Structure 1
Amino acid sequence: MASLRSDLWCMAFVRRHNDLGNMCVVSRRGDPIAGQVFIEVDHLDGSYSLFTPAPLLSRDDSAALVFQRRFSHVEPQIVRDRIAREQDFDPDLWVLSLDLRGDDPGIDLVNPRT
């Protein structure tokens, strides 16, 4: 099965969170078809988390995007610096910004923390 286009996945993610009452916006638009997606989460307590695409360990028939938690509850500047470095490397990157008090942005994670 082919992957879902990045623009469609991002728009669905933003809409779902806004419908749930969480503020979510597209901070940076990337390639509409195959841009990687980074999700920065403002926990509204002065800390941020960052979710990045998980490395492809195996090819399967899943069209779902799978993420890894890169940073959890760190200073906002750490997340901003990591995104800036990635943007220099990959100009097709999408960045979604989510305000969320909890730790579960509702995405598929590799080795989620329990």
Structure 2
Amino acid sequence: MAGALRSDIWCMAFVRRHNDLGNMCVVAKRGDPIAGQVFIEVDHLDGTRSLYTPAPVVSRGNTAGLVFQRRFSRVEPDAVRQRIARESDFDPDLWVLSVDLRGDDLGIDVIKDQTP
């Protein structure tokens, strides 16, 4: 994709921005630096977690850059861990970012909520 930002640069910017905002954020798994998919795990600090995954290409419209979908919303941490483990087995180039955030605004482009 011409003009797309490298995964490593996008991830480092995301981590730095959240840490600057006071949200603990780390790279939990490094993937392919150029084109690795990015998953974002959110610990809501209340015993629940959410998971954001890349949105399907057909859902993105004309939006440039990374666009996400909320795969899980405030579920048991095990559900998120299992999904990440399954995806990591399938795609070893996957990035996983982990952020502690009480709210829901990650400051990313998210398609209409698809959570069950």
Q: TM-score of the superposition, structure 1-length normalised? A: 0.93
The 1:61/1:55 distance shift into structure 2, 3 A limit, reads closer
Please, which moves more after superposition, 66-75 or 50-59? Answer: 50-59
Q: Report what 1:75 is aligned to.
A: 76
The separation in 2 between residues aligned to 1:70 and 1:23, in whole angstroms, is: 21
The separation in 2 between residues aligned to 1:92 and 1:61, in whole angstroms, is: 23
Per-residue CA deviation, residues 71-99 of structure 1 (Å, 9 max, x unaligned), is 00000000000000000100000000000
Q: Aligned ranges for residues 86-97 of structure 1 at < 5 Å?
A: 86-97=87-98
Q: Aligned ranges for residues 14-93 of structure 1 at < 5 Å?
A: 14-57=15-58, 60=62, 62=64, 64-93=65-94
Q: Report what 2:12 is aligned to.
A: 11
Cα deviation, residue 47, structure 1:
0.1
Unaligned runs of 5+ in 1: none
Cα deviation, residue 61, structure 1:
6.9
Q: Which amino acid aligns with 1:15?
A: R
Aligned residues: 112
**Runs of 4+ residues deviating >6 angstroms:** none
Unaligned runs of 5+ in 2: none
The separation in 1 between residues aligned to 2:83 and 2:8, in whole angstroms, is: 22
The separation in 2 between residues aligned to 1:84 and 1:11, in whole angstroms, is: 22
Cα RMSD (Å): 1.5
Work out the percentage of aligned pairs sharing the same amino acid. 74
Cα deviation, residue 60, structure 1:
3.9
Per-residue CA deviation, residues 44-66 of structure 1 (Å, 9 max, x unaligned), is 0000000000000167472x100
